[in-house]
Chains A and B, each alone.
Chain A
Amino acid sequence: MERYAQPTSVKEAVELLATDGWVMLAGGTDFYPGLGEGPVSGPVLDISRIDDLRGISRDDDNAGWHIGALATWTQLVRADHLPPAFNCLKQAALEVGSVQIQNRATIVGNICNASPAADGVPTLLVLDAQVELTSARATRRMVLGEFLQGNRKTARRPDEIVTGIFIPDTGARGASAFFKLGSRRYLVISIAMVAARLDLDGAGLVTSAAVSIGACSVVAQRLPRLEAELAGAGAADVASVPEARHLDGLSPIDDVRAPAGYRLEAALEGVRRALAACAEVRS
């Protein structure tokens, strides 16, 4: 029998993490598939009983929102106290696998798994998400784009636990939308994903824009040049701003789901649709 620990506090958890090569278990929706056909192997650190990691809450001290490491996609969908900018994340939540998966899978687990096709990452990027990490020694916070380092690779050190995600109020302004393309309706890994968030002024002009694309590079990316060019555009025109050149920094792969060239085309179309959807919410 493998070792299994179920700490009830972050302190307990990080003390354990300081020693052995634990495998972290939260929602389990990546943990078990990750076993392939083999048995559970190695000591398991089950963090699901740490009450401090639950919930999606307002953090007035830091002017933002906190998503606890145990918050599930279903809890996010049901959270009715969040500003409209979170709609893209809620739309993404409903595209994560199935209801069964959404009921168990955590948002933090999605970023820790660091799949290039992680449904949550593009939306968290446009919300300017920051990742909170804690070890027995220190606590640190970094932007999501830095946390994600590659395919299944993050900046989390072995002795650290991701305690949550912080969304600053500055990242939670305006309207947002999410676009996902797959080859079937449910339970599907994306061919391409887009998240967009637009903040418009009273005249309907873009004051700030955030756009990101997933499944078209090892880590989902923001499109800073496009974002800059969107500033000042009118709501009716935002969908015509994106061009292929804005996607130059992406590096999609050819695989069984789609060839690279198509991913880029679909992503560009997705950007236009997501921007149009943001503008429509406003109007």
Chain B
Amino acid sequence: MNRHVPPPVTTLTVNGSEAVVASAPYRRLSAVLREEFGLPGTKVGCDAGDCGACTVLVDGEPVCACLTAVGQVNGASITTIEGLKRDGSLSRLQDAFLQFGAAQCGICTPGMLMSAAALLASGTVPDRNQVEDALGGVLCRCTGYAKIIDAVLFAAGSNTVAPVDAAQQAVGKAIRRVDGNPKVDGQERFGADSIPAAALMAKVIRSPHHHAAFELGDVDRFVADHPGIVAVMTAADIPGVNRHGVIPQFADQPVFAETEARHRGEAVAMVVGEADAIADLKSEDFPVSWTELPHVLVCDDAMAADAPRLHETRPGNVMVEGLVQKGDVSAGLKKSTHIVERQFSTPFIEHAYIEPESGWAVRDGDTVTIHASTQAPHMDRDAMAAIMDLDVGQVRIVPTACGGGFGSKLDISMQPFIALAAWKLDRPCGIVYTRQESMRSSTKRHPSQITLKAGCDSEGRITGFDFKGHFNTGAYASWGPTVANRVPVHASGPFHIASYRAHSIAVHTHCPPSGAFRGFGVPQSAIAQECVFDELADAAGIDRLEFRLINALADGLPTATGQVFQSGVGITACLEALRAPWRKARKSAADFNAGRSHLRKGVGLGTCWYGCGNTSLPNPSTMKIGVTGDGRIVLHQGAVDIGQGASTVMVQIAADSLGVPVDAISLQSADTAITPDAGKTSASRQTFVSGNATRLSGEALRASILRHANVTGDAVIRIDGQALVITEGAGERRIDLAVLAPDSEGYVFRAEETYDPPTTPLDENGQGSPYAVFGYGAQMMELTVDTRLGTVTLDRLTAAHDVGRAINPLLVEGQIEGGVAQGIGMALMEDFQPGRTENLHDYLIPTIGDMPEVNSIIVEVPDPHGPYGAKGLGEHVLIPTAPSILNAIRDATGACVRHLPATPDKVMAAIKEVSGNG
């Protein structure tokens, strides 16, 4: 009896073309499309059906390609994002995504577009709920979904209101992203999308324990026994220093652990081999033995006298402390009429970008080039040079498209593995982290434990503010020192407080390193400050919004660090913008609650301020712009666009500062060999710092052109073929570019300018001018609490953000909506637990159905330093959201949730506490 039923030959029609599949029939359709069919537009974010990025249409129905065996779709017609164009042009749906700014980083965009395409093809004219149902299976971490919904409704004809699309104007205009097309037609190439087919692949062996000693077994035998495996590499193979860290004086993290692993997910070795062999590798076959050692996972345990010490030079496991103090806090609190003291805690928050860490490296003689997803190419270059024992000139970083960063891709992750393999084996080597591996090993938002005691007088003026916060910084430093510094500077919120003390302590534990995550600790501290302010306002009998206005920072008033801004302080303007919506929402909630249902409505406020750029440290950005002999204007834009829109903003600024339309500017994106160092994409600094560098470069280029033409500053510059035409009044000068001598890069005119924001160091009491500019904001959440279940439904969020000058209002709204989504996740559901929530179904981030309606109010209080008055925005936007939710829950029910996330059980427990029914 022949039991071996031969699987039939698999034939697919992909985007209209029929082909026979060579891959094994049980291979995931996603892998086959990407690798065998060369269609990497279909993204892989989780390989578990949790993120939907891999959505394709099988006979018109959306499915997760990662959960579909290719042998099961034999004979089917498959449509991927590469097949969405119609007659070579973008479909109406794709175009709507660009028009509405629905794609930010672009990694979820294929899944969104395919899901939406299936909905539109069904012939229904959907309403918002139907769009949400159709797109509910695709996670987005950037956009907050609002613009995606708008774009789909528009494409479906359900919503005819489109944003203004003014392609010929620059600063202040909601132009489309200059880098948008590849994001909607499947041509964008992220870290995993351009690995050469012949490249080796690397697989990292990681600790399964929080803390463990280890010994490697017979790795030579392992290599010999596994055909296609080429090498095993460990700490011993690192040519330079086996240590890195984004803050040099704290650098403490090994590429490979040497004798013991200090957190679950720490790398101990790497297996390199042919792609098929690595794909078939079972990590459990790798010869390594583990001896578990005692571990500590929370600050209290780590600071205990008998706790195992993570780093010899850091007693008590304290890495660093931060302090800002002024006035006499004890005296201030003593004279307070009302005092509130509360404790708060927040868990690890995972960045959950949909693109896991990935990239590839290639050696070319004495240089190694790393093509990878990153937020900080020049920092990567310097770190890699030290690890590889090379000169910085021998390391080239070419960032791929970045499928979400939010701070975690500021640190190097996979870069050393692929560079080491490529260097030593002299073959290109790629790597793609699994979702679990990404979550286990990447940095996180610091868990916090905060105690805040604050008081006010009978008029509601804050009289004393005493803040102490412990921050779990994990096994290695990463950006922990930055968090420790930023928190005390910002813990006051955008308020004037004469007697102030804020003390932060960063504590090591056997957890993944805590690092940078949108706000560097400030979202955690703002929760404490904003919730305590609400209680103080109530104690003083003052409206909560007016209470904030009474205490609001203003021009001429000192911040907690004693810095005084003479102009540009925008918090009052933001709060005033909320006054009418606040009164209306409060009235509406009160009317609803008079109906005595088990549903209760509430309204809550949160505010923010956030310093743009490094804290009291040099933070330069350099931009270059040139005109080629053949009449192209090229902007060397090294400020990595991770979806937020830096490339578009820089082009808009370049256009206006030079005096040409945006479409006259060609973009050269980040590449350490070609673009000057614009600094890292972090600290909400690119629009402000790099925007200024761009403005200065544009102005310098304009000046040199006008000088050449011997005309005044009012002249108009225009490109005409291979000539520049300069018009001044009735006169016209024509500069024939082709006859000018080009420099080594082909430029006949060029300018390169640097901007470094003016700051001063902080003294031992944290006094000084840490930032040249702050941005401000205030948000108001309206929500409904089901008091029988503790569930929270978010109804509407009104966000007023002072951006100084909105270079691109569409991008500003996108940042607000996306930041709000992350704030919602932090408030209501996100909780990373090492070893427990290392995937995207146990670790929950908001879906399209969890977002309220978001109304953005753009406030423009110009900053004297900012380009055209602009301030940063990227991180500000998520800070007020979580406190606004907690305050609204309290407004609705009286229940105070102070230990995040406010899951239904915690809300229910808090409701019982106030109703005396628990």
Contact = CB atoms under 8 A, between A and B. Distances in A.
**Do the two shown chains form a genuine complex with each other?**
yes
Interface of A: 1-7, 12, 15-16, 19, 25, 27-29, 31-33, 36-41, 44, 46, 48, 74, 94, 97-101, 103-104, 181, 183-189, 191, 256-259, 262, 265-266, 269
B850 A103 contact: no
B24 A4 contact: yes
A32 B849 contact: no
A5 B282 contact: no
Interface residues of B, number: 69
A104 B68 contact: yes
Contacts of A16: 3, 5
Contacts of B132: 185-186
Contact of B67 (A28, A37, A74, A183): A28
Interface string B160-196: 0000000000000000000000000000000000000
Contacts of A258: 903-905
A269 B5 CA distance: 52
A266 B68 contact: no
Contacts of A262: 790, 904-905, 908-909
A181 B788 CA distance: 12
Which 8 pairs between the two chains have the least Cβ-Cβ distance? Answer: A98-B137, A185-B849, A186-B136, A262-B905, A186-B847, A33-B48, A100-B137, A5-B5
A223 B787 CA distance: 25
A189 B133 CA distance: 17
A181 B791 CA distance: 9
Nearest to B47: A32
Nearest to A15: B3
* Interface residues of A, dominant DSSP: loop
Given A15-B3, A100-B63, 9 more contacts: A6-B25, A12-B5, A19-B3, A32-B28, A39-B282, A97-B49, A187-B136, A187-B841, A262-B904
Interface stretch (B304-312, B411-419, B826-834, B886-894): B826-834
B110 to A, nearest CB: 13
A181 B904 contact: yes
Contacts of B831: 256
Interface string B68-79: 110110000000
Interface string B760-798: 000000000000000000000000000011110000000
Interface string B1-41: 10111011000000000000000111110000000000000
Contacts of A257: 903
Nearest to B837: A256
29 contacts: A4-B7, A7-B5, A19-B3, A28-B67, A29-B64, A32-B28, A32-B48, A33-B47, A33-B67, A37-B436, A39-B282, A44-B26, A48-B72, A94-B133, A97-B137, A99-B62, A103-B62, A104-B63, A104-B64, A185-B849, A185-B850, A186-B137, A186-B848, A186-B849, A187-B841, A256-B833, A258-B903, A265-B908, A266-B790
Contact of A99 (B7, B115, B789, B849): B115
A256 B904 CA distance: 12
Nearest to B25: A4
Given A29-B49, A32-B67, A101-B137, A184 B844 contact: yes
A44 to B, nearest CB: 5
A119 to B, nearest CB: 13
A15 B283 CA distance: 33
Contacts of A256: 831, 833, 836-837, 842
A184 B847 CA distance: 7
A101 to B, nearest CB: 6
Contact of B846 (A28, A39, A40, A184): A184
Contacts of A191: 904-905
Interface string B898-918: 000001110011000000000
Nearest to A28: B67
A75 B138 CA distance: 21
A48 to B, nearest CB: 5
Given A100-B49, A185-B849, A38 B283 contact: yes
A13 to B, nearest CB: 9
Contacts of B115: 99-100
Contacts of A181: 789, 791, 904
A46 B904 contact: no
Given A7-B5, A256-B842, A98 B136 contact: yes
A163 to B, nearest CB: 18
A280 B904 CA distance: 26
Contacts of A12: 5
A151 B909 CA distance: 29
A4 B74 CA distance: 14
B280 A39 contact: yes
A98 B139 CA distance: 11
Nearest to A263: B905
Interface string B55-71: 10010011110111101
A4 B788 CA distance: 50
B276 to A, nearest CB: 10
Name, among B8, B136, B283, the residue most crowded by chain A CB atoms within 10 Å (CB to CB).
B136
A45 to B, nearest CB: 9
A6 B69 CA distance: 12
A187 B137 contact: yes
B49 A46 contact: no
A28 B71 CA distance: 11
Interface string B832-870: 010011000110101111100000000000000000000
A194 B55 CA distance: 30
A120 B55 CA distance: 24
Contacts of A189: 841-842
A29 B46 CA distance: 13
B619 interface: no
A46 B26 contact: yes
Contact of A269 (B28, B63, B788, B849): B788
A108 to B, nearest CB: 16
Contact of B904 (A27, A36, A185, A266): A266
Nearest to B72: A48
A12 B1 CA distance: 11
A101 B49 contact: yes
B801 to A, nearest CB: 26
Contacts of B47: 32-33
A19 B4 CA distance: 11
Contacts of B837: 256
A31 B25 CA distance: 14
A36 B139 CA distance: 20
A19 B904 CA distance: 48
A185 B67 contact: no
B716 interface: no
Contacts of B846: 184
Given A28-B69, A37-B437, A99 B904 contact: no
Contacts of A187: 50, 52, 136-137, 139, 841, 847
A201 B563 CA distance: 77
A101 B64 contact: yes
Contacts of B24: 1-2, 4, 40
B281 interface: yes
Nearest to A5: B5
Nearest to A183: B829
B121 interface: no
Given A6-B5, A38-B283, A25 B26 contact: yes
A46 B24 CA distance: 13
B339 to A, nearest CB: 32
Nearest to A23: B26
A266 to B, nearest CB: 6
A214 B436 CA distance: 27
Interface in B61-120: 61-64, 66-69, 71-72, 115, 118
